A and B are shown apart, each in its own frame.
Chain A
Amino acid sequence: GENVEQHPSTLSVQEGDSAVIKCTYSDSASNYFPWYKQELGKRPQLIIDIRSNVGEKKDQRIAVTLNKTAKHFSLHITETQPEDSAVYFCAAVETSYDKVIFGPGTSLSVIP
Protein backbone atom coordinates (compact mmCIF):
# COMPACT_ATOMS: atom_id res chain seq x y z
CA GLY A 1 0.00 0.00 0.00
CA GLU A 2 0.90 3.64 -0.13
CA ASN A 3 3.17 4.87 2.64
CA VAL A 4 5.40 7.71 3.81
CA GLU A 5 8.85 7.00 5.22
CA GLN A 6 10.35 9.54 7.60
CA HIS A 7 13.94 9.78 8.87
CA PRO A 8 15.40 10.00 11.37
CA SER A 9 13.00 8.72 14.01
CA THR A 10 14.88 10.64 16.70
CA LEU A 11 17.15 13.65 16.37
CA SER A 12 19.16 15.45 19.00
CA VAL A 13 20.87 18.77 18.21
CA GLN A 14 22.61 21.53 20.14
CA GLU A 15 20.77 24.80 20.46
CA GLY A 16 21.64 27.00 17.50
CA ASP A 17 22.40 24.13 15.16
CA SER A 18 20.25 23.10 12.21
CA ALA A 19 17.90 20.13 12.03
CA VAL A 20 16.80 18.29 8.90
CA ILE A 21 14.01 15.73 8.65
CA LYS A 22 13.42 13.83 5.43
CA CYS A 23 10.32 12.12 4.05
CA THR A 24 9.75 9.90 1.05
CA TYR A 25 6.30 9.12 -0.30
CA SER A 26 5.01 6.53 -2.73
CA ASP A 27 1.61 7.82 -3.90
CA SER A 28 2.12 9.66 -7.19
CA ALA A 29 -1.24 11.38 -6.76
CA SER A 30 -0.06 13.25 -3.65
CA ASN A 31 0.13 16.95 -4.36
CA TYR A 32 0.12 18.64 -0.97
CA PHE A 33 2.76 18.13 1.74
CA PRO A 34 2.12 19.60 5.21
CA TRP A 35 4.36 19.35 8.25
CA TYR A 36 2.89 19.18 11.74
CA LYS A 37 4.53 19.81 15.10
CA GLN A 38 3.24 18.04 18.17
CA GLU A 39 4.44 19.18 21.56
CA LEU A 40 4.19 16.78 24.46
CA GLY A 41 0.57 16.20 25.45
CA LYS A 42 -0.81 18.50 22.76
CA ARG A 43 -2.44 18.22 19.37
CA PRO A 44 -0.51 18.27 16.08
CA GLN A 45 -0.39 21.75 14.57
CA LEU A 46 0.62 22.84 11.09
CA ILE A 47 3.97 24.61 10.92
CA ILE A 48 4.54 24.78 7.17
CA ASP A 49 3.23 23.22 3.98
CA ILE A 50 4.17 23.02 0.34
CA ARG A 51 2.18 22.33 -2.77
CA SER A 52 3.34 20.25 -5.69
CA ASN A 53 3.91 23.18 -8.03
CA VAL A 54 6.51 24.69 -5.69
CA GLY A 55 10.04 23.43 -5.01
CA GLU A 56 10.84 25.34 -1.84
CA LYS A 57 9.09 27.45 0.78
CA LYS A 58 10.50 29.33 3.73
CA ASP A 59 8.97 30.86 6.82
CA GLN A 60 11.53 32.50 9.12
CA ARG A 61 13.65 29.65 10.58
CA ILE A 62 11.67 26.90 8.90
CA ALA A 63 11.92 25.78 5.28
CA VAL A 64 10.56 22.90 3.28
CA THR A 65 11.87 21.53 0.00
CA LEU A 66 10.10 19.22 -2.43
CA ASN A 67 11.50 17.01 -5.18
CA LYS A 68 8.45 15.55 -6.93
CA THR A 69 10.49 13.51 -9.36
CA ALA A 70 12.27 11.69 -6.54
CA LYS A 71 9.19 11.83 -4.26
CA HIS A 72 11.22 13.40 -1.47
CA PHE A 73 10.44 16.35 0.76
CA SER A 74 12.37 17.71 3.70
CA LEU A 75 11.94 20.03 6.67
CA HIS A 76 14.82 22.31 7.60
CA ILE A 77 14.94 24.17 10.91
CA THR A 78 17.79 26.63 11.38
CA GLU A 79 19.06 28.22 14.61
CA THR A 80 17.18 25.68 16.67
CA GLN A 81 15.80 26.68 20.06
CA PRO A 82 14.68 24.53 23.03
CA GLU A 83 11.04 25.30 22.18
CA ASP A 84 11.55 23.49 18.86
CA SER A 85 11.70 20.24 20.84
CA ALA A 86 8.67 18.20 19.75
CA VAL A 87 7.56 15.39 17.48
CA TYR A 88 7.33 16.37 13.82
CA PHE A 89 5.09 14.59 11.33
CA CYS A 90 5.21 14.88 7.57
CA ALA A 91 2.22 13.96 5.42
CA ALA A 92 1.50 13.31 1.77
CA VAL A 93 -2.01 14.36 0.75
CA GLU A 94 -4.20 14.23 -2.30
CA THR A 95 -5.92 17.61 -2.08
CA SER A 96 -9.29 15.97 -2.63
CA TYR A 97 -8.51 14.35 0.73
CA ASP A 98 -9.28 10.94 -0.65
CA LYS A 99 -5.93 9.95 0.80
CA VAL A 100 -3.88 11.35 3.68
CA ILE A 101 -0.75 9.45 4.67
CA PHE A 102 1.35 10.47 7.66
CA GLY A 103 4.96 9.61 8.28
CA PRO A 104 5.73 7.86 11.59
CA GLY A 105 7.17 11.00 13.17
CA THR A 106 10.55 12.38 14.27
CA SER A 107 11.23 13.22 17.89
CA LEU A 108 13.46 16.30 17.93
CA SER A 109 15.34 17.30 21.07
CA VAL A 110 17.17 20.62 21.19
CA ILE A 111 19.78 20.65 23.94
CA PRO A 112 20.39 24.05 25.56
Chain B
Amino acid sequence: EAQVTQNPRYLITVTGKKLTVTCSQNMNHEYMSWYRQDPGLGLRQIYYSMNVEVTDKGDVPEGYKVSRKEKRNFPLILESPSPNQTSLYFCASSTPGQVGSPLHFGNGTRLTVT
Protein backbone atom coordinates (compact mmCIF):
# COMPACT_ATOMS: atom_id res chain seq x y z
CA GLU B 1 0.00 0.00 0.00
CA ALA B 2 1.34 3.44 -0.97
CA GLN B 3 1.80 5.46 2.17
CA VAL B 4 3.76 7.94 4.25
CA THR B 5 4.62 6.55 7.67
CA GLN B 6 5.44 8.76 10.63
CA ASN B 7 6.58 7.68 14.05
CA PRO B 8 5.76 8.13 16.80
CA ARG B 9 2.09 9.19 16.70
CA TYR B 10 2.30 10.77 20.15
CA LEU B 11 5.34 12.09 21.99
CA ILE B 12 5.64 13.83 25.34
CA THR B 13 9.05 15.14 26.26
CA VAL B 14 10.78 17.74 28.38
CA THR B 15 12.50 20.96 27.39
CA GLY B 16 15.98 20.42 25.98
CA LYS B 17 15.81 16.67 25.41
CA LYS B 18 16.74 15.94 21.80
CA LEU B 19 14.17 14.02 19.77
CA THR B 20 13.67 12.70 16.26
CA VAL B 21 10.41 12.14 14.42
CA THR B 22 10.82 9.69 11.57
CA CYS B 23 9.11 9.84 8.19
CA SER B 24 9.28 7.24 5.46
CA GLN B 25 7.49 6.95 2.11
CA ASN B 26 7.28 3.97 -0.24
CA MET B 27 6.15 5.82 -3.39
CA ASN B 28 9.62 6.78 -4.70
CA HIS B 29 8.70 10.46 -4.34
CA GLU B 30 11.46 13.03 -4.85
CA TYR B 31 9.78 15.74 -2.80
CA MET B 32 9.27 15.49 0.97
CA SER B 33 8.34 18.14 3.50
CA TRP B 34 7.44 18.76 7.12
CA TYR B 35 4.55 20.89 8.38
CA ARG B 36 3.36 21.94 11.77
CA GLN B 37 -0.30 22.57 12.44
CA ASP B 38 -1.46 24.90 15.18
CA PRO B 39 -5.02 26.10 15.90
CA GLY B 40 -5.92 29.08 13.73
CA LEU B 41 -2.61 28.99 11.84
CA GLY B 42 -3.23 26.20 9.36
CA LEU B 43 -0.32 24.23 7.94
CA ARG B 44 3.06 25.90 8.09
CA GLN B 45 6.04 24.45 6.28
CA ILE B 46 9.15 23.76 8.36
CA TYR B 47 11.60 22.24 5.87
CA TYR B 48 11.38 20.56 2.51
CA SER B 49 13.58 18.43 0.31
CA MET B 50 13.53 18.22 -3.47
CA ASN B 51 15.72 15.11 -3.54
CA VAL B 52 18.46 13.22 -1.72
CA GLU B 53 20.96 15.54 0.00
CA VAL B 54 18.92 18.62 -0.98
CA THR B 55 17.03 20.40 1.80
CA ASP B 56 15.63 23.92 2.14
CA LYS B 57 14.01 26.01 4.83
CA GLY B 58 10.29 26.57 4.81
CA ASP B 59 8.42 29.29 6.63
CA VAL B 60 9.18 28.26 10.23
CA PRO B 61 12.54 26.42 10.31
CA GLU B 62 13.91 27.81 13.59
CA GLY B 63 14.62 25.09 16.15
CA TYR B 64 14.39 22.23 13.66
CA LYS B 65 16.82 20.20 11.56
CA VAL B 66 16.25 17.67 8.81
CA SER B 67 18.32 15.30 6.73
CA ARG B 68 17.72 13.43 3.47
CA LYS B 69 20.34 10.72 3.18
CA GLU B 70 17.99 8.31 1.44
CA LYS B 71 15.12 9.03 -0.91
CA ARG B 72 12.50 7.32 1.22
CA ASN B 73 13.39 8.88 4.62
CA PHE B 74 13.14 12.43 5.87
CA PRO B 75 13.53 12.66 9.67
CA LEU B 76 12.71 15.81 11.64
CA ILE B 77 15.13 16.57 14.46
CA LEU B 78 14.56 18.85 17.42
CA GLU B 79 17.96 19.33 19.04
CA SER B 80 16.66 21.23 22.07
CA PRO B 81 12.86 21.21 22.12
CA SER B 82 10.99 24.08 23.76
CA PRO B 83 7.34 24.38 24.81
CA ASN B 84 6.53 26.56 21.78
CA GLN B 85 7.27 23.54 19.60
CA THR B 86 4.28 21.75 21.08
CA SER B 87 2.21 21.09 17.97
CA LEU B 88 0.83 18.55 15.51
CA TYR B 89 3.41 17.64 12.89
CA PHE B 90 2.82 16.19 9.44
CA CYS B 91 5.25 14.76 6.96
CA ALA B 92 4.22 14.78 3.30
CA SER B 93 5.63 13.65 -0.05
CA SER B 94 4.94 14.16 -3.73
CA THR B 95 6.39 14.08 -7.22
CA PRO B 96 7.30 17.44 -8.75
CA GLY B 97 6.53 17.78 -12.41
CA GLN B 98 4.68 19.71 -15.03
CA VAL B 99 1.22 18.32 -14.43
CA GLY B 100 0.98 18.83 -10.67
CA SER B 101 0.70 16.05 -8.12
CA PRO B 102 -0.92 16.16 -4.70
CA LEU B 103 0.84 15.84 -1.39
CA HIS B 104 0.47 12.54 0.46
CA PHE B 105 0.44 13.13 4.20
CA GLY B 106 1.49 10.90 7.05
CA ASN B 107 -0.86 10.31 9.99
CA GLY B 108 0.73 13.02 12.08
CA THR B 109 2.78 13.23 15.27
CA ARG B 110 1.35 15.07 18.24
CA LEU B 111 4.27 16.48 20.21
CA THR B 112 4.02 17.95 23.70
CA VAL B 113 7.05 19.66 25.22
CA THR B 114 6.80 20.43 28.93
Residues of A within 8 A of B (CB): 31-32, 34, 36, 42-46, 49, 51, 89, 93, 95-98, 100, 102-105
Task: Give Cα A89–Cα B37 distance, bound, in whole angstroms.
Answer: 12
Known A-B contacts A43-B106, A44-B105, A100-B33; the reply to A95 vs B42 at CB < 8 A is: no
Residues of A within 8 A of B101 (CB): 95
Task: Give Cα A49–Cα B103 distance, bound, in whole angstroms.
Answer: 11
- Those of B25-82 within 8 Å (CB) of chain A: 31, 33, 40-45, 48, 50
Task: Give Cα A44–Cα B90 distance, bound, in whole angstroms.
Answer: 9
Task: Give Cα A68–Cα B44 distance, bound, in whole angstroms.
Answer: 24
Known A-B contacts A32-B100, A49-B102; the reply to A44 vs B43 at CB < 8 A is: yes
Partner pick for A97 among B43, B94, B99, B108, CB 8 A cutoff: B94
Task: Give Cα A1–Cα B15 distance, bound, in whole angstroms.
Answer: 32
**What is the chain A residue whose CB lies nearest that of B58?**
A100
Task: Give Cα A97–Cα B54 distance, bound, in whole angstroms.
Answer: 13
- Those of B79-114 within 8 Å (CB) of chain A: 90, 94, 96-103, 105-108
Residues of B within 8 A of A46 (CB): 102-103
Partner pick for B103 among A95, A100, A103, A104, CB 8 A cutoff: A100
Known A-B contacts A43-B90, A43-B107, A97-B94; the reply to A89 vs B102 at CB < 8 A is: no
Task: Give Cα A36–Cα B41 distance, bound, in whole angstroms.
Answer: 16
* Cross-chain contact A89 with B42 (CB below 8 angstroms): yes
What are 14 of the A-B contact pairs (CB < 8 Å)? A32-B100, A43-B90, A44-B43, A44-B103, A89-B42, A93-B100, A95-B97, A95-B100, A98-B50, A100-B45, A100-B48, A104-B42, A105-B42, A105-B43
